[in-house]
Structure 1
Amino acid sequence: MVFKKMLSALGVGGPSVDTVLTNPNTRPGLVLDGQVNLRGGETPADIEQITLALVTRVEMEAGDSEYAGTMEFYRLPVSGAMRLEAKQEVTIPFQLPVPWETPITDVYGQRLRGMTMGLRTELAIARAVDKSDLDAVAVHPLPVHEKILEAFAQLGFQFKNADLERGHIYGVQQTLPFYQEIEFFAAPQYAHAIREVELTFVTNQHGIDVIIECDKRGGLFSGGQDTVGRYTATHAEVDQVDWRARVEGWLGQTVASYGRHPGHGHPGKQGGHHGRHGAGGMVAGAALGLAGGMIAGEMLEDSFEGDFGDFGGE
């Protein structure tokens, strides 16, 4: 028995955890339903806490260098202290709220290149090695997001990449420590003025802030510079607006605002880098270039192996 306890403390023959999601697909503001399945090991174990956490990959800065790291952005305890007997099986159901600002990872069933998202289960065990489990999660756009992304496609913008930048946007009420940038190559009719566009949504229960950052082309005797515009839309107006016209207006205002300081009502991004690295139905999907490789179709589990390798299961 002493030998078994020693092995259990080292993580051998100890409890196991497996989280099963009812549906791994969700949207900002909704919930993820599922259950945490525990199975006792060779000896009884004292469980201190079971916690769920949403984690994703975020671009960060350290001095003059940049790197990508895994960041937890929502945490939910689902069980406190409990005794798990040897070989005992316990099921704990849960509902995890998805924050409104959760970034979009999938559009029309296709993974946005550059995005990863997972639900991590942490099993804290007294006097033993803790266990964890990681499950892929797909976050789909809300209707207002879809309308705006469709408008960009209809205007001829081509998707380039998406990523998360650590930092905050000036003048925007933001609760998460990062923001998403969905990057596009400029549509032909804008190519004379801008090279690329970065689109950011900051979502809440009433609507969204839409931040458009244009990488403005430089002239013969002047360098290029970014120009940023902030606009708003509500969930309630999603079926009442000509979104192509509205987005076209936003783009025109943003390009025309070149040279204005962020402090004069135009948001700037704090903490993120500004390097140049960088979706609707069948018609919008074709316009976005889904069939041409605009959106990478790799399974999220493959991304976990590289980005989230430290959080694998047993």
Structure 2
Amino acid sequence: MGLRTFFGTLGARAPQVETVLDRVVGRPGERLTATVTVQGGGAAVRVEGLAMELVTRVEGLEEGGTELAWRQPGVVSAFSLPTFTLSPGETVVREVDCVLPWEMPLTHVGGRRLRGARAALRTTMKIDAAIDRGDFDEIAVHALPAQDAFLQALTDLGFRLGDAEVKHGRLRGGTAQTLPYRQEIEAHFPASYNRRHDDRLEIVFLARADSLDLTTGIYGPYTFDHADLDVEAATAWLVAHLHANWRR
């Protein structure tokens, strides 16, 4: 997966930058490695900023309509390389480690893509006050085993997974949320449940290294240790929880 951008404001012999990831699949908490290659153009320039940004598709306004925006994604985390001078024709190569935050919005659960979910690594380069946003290197962020256990349990109970939406703002209830975004994964109730005023259950995970918080609609957060969760344990908890709050 390559990212190649040119600064049109600097002419045809402008510097170019290419970012290549060692892999494009990962889970929250895992580390990806990117090789960033900057090729000098026809004149010496001062690279004032070379930044890598993990971005996600965030619900918002795009092109006059309400949809999940991708042209202006939300920045989950960012890191930059030191300023340097690039001589004509010079090649500068840097290795960059990119850690996926524990709360990184997911794009895949159970090995399948979540509808509406996208994530990418974006390179931004600044030269002489000209900023080039570049293109995206899309990545697949797969669920942690504990997250997969809950979503598989819901599927086994007859729920159908729907859209995954990343929204601005914090969850209520005093969770230890660190990102300015939260991801809501829709699960459509089977007909046998009392669905009250909505046929969807919104699932929100806030993961950490050893545990996660789970919010189901207006209920939660509930905290679980990763080590205590498999599909069987998640199913048992969900059956009791759903029967208590959405009685058949």
Q: TM-score normalised to the size of structure 1?
A: 0.68
Tell me what 2:180 maps to.
177
Tell me what 1:292 maps to.
none
Distance 2:45 2:117 in 1: 37
Give 1:230's aligned amino acid. Answer: P
**Runs of 5+ unmatched residues, structure 1:** 1-6, 214-226, 257-314
Distance 1:35 1:254 in 2: 50
Q: Is the 2:153–2:231 Cα contact (8 Å) retained in structure 1? A: no
Tell me what 2:200 maps to.
196
1:111-142 deviation digits (Å, cap 9, x = unpaired): 21111111111111135554634210110000
1:238-266 deviation digits (Å, cap 9, x = unpaired): 3495221111122233437xxxxxxxxxx
SS in structure 1 opposite 2:246? helix
Tell me what 2:40 maps to.
40
More helix per residue:
1
Q: TM-score normalised to the size of structure 2?
A: 0.85
1:30-69 superposed matches below 5 A:
30-60=30-60, 68-69=68-69
In structure 2, do the counterparts of structure 1 residues 186 and 102 end up closer, same or farther at CA, with 3 Å as the change threshold? same
1:1-314 superposed matches below 5 A:
9-60=9-60, 68-69=68-69, 70-77=73-80, 79-126=81-128, 128=130, 130=132, 132-171=134-173, 172-191=175-194, 193=196, 195-213=199-217, 227-239=218-230, 242-255=233-246
The runs of 4+ residues in structure 1 deviating greater than 3 Å are 7-12, 65-69, 127-131, 191-194, 253-256
Larger radius of gyration: 1
Distance 1:131 1:207 in 2: 35
Give 2:56's aligned amino acid. Answer: T
Give 2:14's aligned amino acid. Answer: G
Distance 1:14 1:129 in 2: 13
**Runs of 5+ unmatched residues, structure 2:** 1-6
1:233-291 deviation digits (Å, cap 9, x = unpaired): 111213495221111122233437xxxxxxxxxxxxxxxxxxxxxxxxxxxxxxxxxxx
Distance 1:52 1:81 in 2: 14
More strand per residue:
2
Distance 1:44 1:124 in 2: 14
> Identity rate of aligned residues, in percent?
32
**Structure 1 vs Structure 2 CA RMSD:** 2.4
In structure 2, do the counterparts of structure 1 residues 72 and 245 end up closer, same or farther at CA, with 3 Å as the change threshold? same
1:3-57 deviation digits (Å, cap 9, x = unpaired): xxxx975353211111100001111111111211111112222111211111112
The number of aligned residues is 233
SS in structure 2 opposite 1:210? strand
Q: Is the 1:231–1:250 Cα contact (8 Å) retained in structure 2? A: no
